Amino acid sequence: MFNIILFGPPGSGKGTQSEKLIEKYGLKHLSTGDLLRSEIASKTPLGLEAKNFMDKGQLVPDEVVIGMISSALDTNPHVPGFLFDGFPRTEAQSEALDKLLKLKKTEIGVVLALIVTEDELIKRLLNRGLTSGRPDDNNEEVIRARIVEYHQKTSAVAEYYKQFDKVVYVKGEGTVDEIFELLTSEIDQRNQPVTQ
C-alpha cells in the first residue's frame, strides 16, 4: 500500500490534482471537505453540525472528521492506497491517522505540500465562488478566515510529518499539468515497485 497526503492551504489545488493522481495510481481519494459537503447535502445531523463551522471558515471538530476517516478506511480494505486531501488538518488528526494506519499495518508514504502565494489563493477561491455554490468561497472575509485557520492549526501538520522526514514541498503555481508532473515525479521516486 502507498498512502499519500496532499497538503496545502485552501485553494492550493489539492482537489484538482487529486482527481488526476487517483486516476494515474488507482488510489482511493478521501477528501474530508467532500465528505462533509455530502453530509450537508443529505442534511444528516453530522452535516448540520459541520455546516456551522464550515460557513464561517472554521475547522470542524477533530473527533467528527477522525470518525469519518476511520469508517472510510474500514469500508475500503482492498485498495492500493489512499490519497488524503484536506486531512489531516491538525496535529491531533495527524496522530490519529498514524494510529489508524498502523492498525492496518500501513503508513503514510509521503506528504506532498503545495506552495501557493496568498494573493493567488484568494484570487482562485473568489473566482471559483462565482460558480461553485460553496458558501465558504462567496466572500473574501470567510476565505481569509480559512487561511488564518490554516496558519494557526494546519501548518502544524507539515511540522509533525517533518520529524519522520516525509514532507516534500512542490510549487503549486503554473499549469495544472506542470504541477501534476512535479507531483508524479516525487511519487515515482518513492514508490518504486519492489524488484527482486
Nearest-CA neighbor of 90 among 64, 52, 121?
64
Smallest distance from ligand AP5 to CB 67, Å:
11
- Window 171-190: contact mask with ligand AP5 (x via CB under 6 A): -----x--x-----------
Quick count: other Cβ atoms within 10 Å of Cβ 159?
11
**How many amino acids of this chain bind Mg ion (CB under 5 A)?**
2
Residue 54 binding result from Mg ion, ligand AP5, none, given CB thresholds of 5 to 8 Å by partner type: ligand AP5
For residues 13 and 113, which CB has a smaller minimum distance to ligand AP5 in the complex? Answer: 13
The only residue of 5, 11, 51, 97 in contact with ligand AP5, by rule CB under 6 A: 11
Q: Is 112 in contact with 21 (CB distance < 8 Å)?
A: no
Nearer to ligand AP5, 26 or 67 (CB): 67
- In order of 40, 41, 51, the CA distances from 37 in angstroms are 5, 6, 8
How many contiguous H segments (helices) and E segments (strands) does the chain have?
A: 9, 5
Q: Which does 51 bind (CB under 5 to 8 A by kind): Mg ion, ligand AP5, none?
A: none
Kindly state whether residue 36 participates in binding ligand AP5, applying the rule CB under 6 A.
yes
Cell 464550515 appears where?
54
Q: Which of residues 133-172 bind ligand AP5 (CB under 6 A)?
A: 136, 146
13 binds ligand AP5, rule: CB under 6 A: yes
16 sits near ligand AP5 (criterion: CB under 6 A) = yes
Q: Are 149 and 59 in contact (CB under 8 A)?
A: yes
Q: Say if residues 112 and 186 touch (Cβ distance below 8 Å).
A: yes
